[in-house]
Amino acid sequence: MALPSDPAVGWLNPNSVVGAVVLGVLAFALSFIVALLIRRGTRRIQQHLTDVTALGFVSAFAQLLTYLFGFVLYAHLIPELRAFGTALLAGVSVISVVVGVAAQNTLGNLVAGFWLVLSGTIRVGDAIHLASSVGAFDATVRLISLGNTVLVDQQGHEVVVPNSLIMASAITRIKRSEEHTSELQSPNC
């Protein structure tokens, strides 16, 4: 049991400014370490998978949740932040409407990204023809992330397309990536 004169108690006291800063640094460091472990685990798992599309997407989402959890943990430990959160409870409905309207495109891209990964409509390495409201072109899928998909056109240029635009576009799969062609062929049906 720590004595009141123990210096470690002052450094971790959430009621003091120094304690709040130290706890904030510890929460961030813990979140950073967990996110780093997620990235390393992703790289190890990636070597054994043929379809890395979902893995990269889930890894980025897990890292985002890790930092969010770290912030929530920090806010819960600091009494002033807890009291501040309680005072804002009355205005949460107004704030949520404003944030929802402001983040409508971002949330739409996130949901579209989940659907792209889960449905397998396109995968990393697929050659596609994308016909959208902004034009039509042939490209190869390089990356599907939380908010957008990176395509490489025939000239080698990277084209970053929001996931919601891809979901609203006509996609013609020209060629499934080599890693996935065996999945599409069924043995002697």
Residue with tokens 């002033």: 80
Q: What is the pTM of this model?
A: 0.54
pLDDT of 48: 79
pLDDT of 179: 60
Burial of 149 (0-12, 13-18, 19+ CB in 10 A): buried
Q: What is the pLDDT along the chain (189 residues), one digit of tens a residue?
A: 444 555 556 677 877 888 888 888 999 999 999 999 999 999 988 887 766 777 888 888 899 889 988 887 887 788 777 766 555 555 666 777 777 787 888 888 888 988 888 888 888 999 999 988 778 899 999 998 888 999 999 999 999 999 999 988 888 999 887 765 444 444 444
Cα angle value 85/59/151 (rounded, 5°): 115
Rounded to whole angstroms, the Cα distance separating 23 from 74 reads 7
What residues are paired with 151 via a beta bridge?
A: 141, 159
pLDDT of 35: 95
Report whether 31 contacts 69 (CB < 8 A). yes
* Token pair of 156 as six digits: 């080698």
Report whether 91 contacts 55 (CB < 8 A). no
